[in-house]
Amino acid sequence: MIASLPPQIAEAVLAHFLRYFLLCSAMAFFNGGLLFVILRRRALWLRYTAAEAAFWHRLRFPPRRFMDACRRFEEGRVLMYVLWVLVAGFCALMVLNATLYFYWQHRFHSM
């Protein structure tokens, strides 16, 4: 089956794995940076959430109860755990995409 694939499709498959590897690494880096700010720069994160809440309160856009719930979520431990899961998930997907890329690259070029 692999021997019957045209080279354009083989290159498209490899480009797909490479693209998703780069996307997953960017998302892991972004979520890791956000996790670093939440864990190590707590005062900066709390100041940001307070400024965001004040901004939306001045605009009177969402109800006050909704903003208070969002702020409690952002300042609580649940967001930290969600970010840990996201970082671990994106790192796992990054490793999976790299593994599949090298596996299929070896299979396509050994034809």
Structural domain that includes position 76 = 25-109
Residue 37 has pLDDT above 80, yes or no: yes
Tell me the per-residue pLDDT of 69-78, one tens digit each, with 9 for 90 and over.
999 999 999 9
Residue 3 has pLDDT above 70, yes or no: no
pTM of the model: 0.84
The widest CA-to-CA distance across the chain, in whole angstroms, is 65
- The token pair at 37 is 């700010």
pLDDT-derived band at 60, boundaries 50, 70, 90? confident
Contact between 85 and 34 (Cβ < 8 Å): no
Tell me the per-residue pLDDT of 39-56, one tens digit each, with 9 for 90 and over.
999 999 999 999 999 999
Contact between 108 and 14 (Cβ < 8 Å): yes
Would you say residue 18 lies in a domain?
no
Residue 1 pLDDT: 55
Would you say residue 15 lies in a domain?
no
Structural domains in the chain (count): 1
Would you say residue 11 lies in a domain?
no
Would you say residue 13 lies in a domain?
no
